[in-house]
Amino acid sequence: MTLQMMRLFLDFAIAEALKNNTLRLYTTEMSEAARKLIEGVELEDE
C-alpha cells in the first residue's frame, strides 16, 4: 500500500471514529486484558 493510500485510509478511519464518537483511550486495564487473552498462546512457523 502506498503512503498516500495509507494516509487516505487513516484519514477516513479517524473521521469515522470522530463522527461516531467511538474513540477511546487504550488503558492499562485493556492492555492487561489483552495479555491475559493471549497468555500461553504459541504460534507455529509457516
On average, the pLDDT of the chain sits at 89
Residue 27 has a pLDDT of: 95
Q: CB–CB of 31/38 below 8 Å? A: no
| Residues whose CB is less than 8 angstroms from the CB of residue 9 and which lie 6 or more positions away in sequence, other chains included | 1
Residue 1 has a pLDDT of: 60
Cα maximum dimension of the chain: 40
**What percentage of the chain exceeds 70 in pLDDT?**
96
**pLDDT grade, residue 35 (50/70/90)?**
very high
Does residue 16 have a pLDDT over 70? Answer: yes
Residue 40 has a pLDDT of: 93
